[in-house]
Amino acid sequence: THDPTIANYSDQVVNIKDGQIAANHFAQEKVLWGNNK
């Protein structure tokens, strides 16, 4: 089944996961930079 609605939902979920990973990455970098100061 290639329901456009389901496909669109899957894309949104992937984008949300990517966004969370990016946010976590930036948060970790902030912690690392904070520890280096």
pLDDT at 35: 74
Neighbours of 17 (CB within 10 A): 10
Neighbours of 4 (CB within 10 A): 7
> pLDDT, tens digit, for every residue of 1-37?
578 888 888 899 999 999 999 999 999 988 888 876 5
Burial class (CB in 10 A: 0-12, 13-18, 19+), 10: exposed
3-state helix, strand, coil in the chain (%, to 5): 90, 0, 10
Q: What is the pTM of this model?
A: 0.55
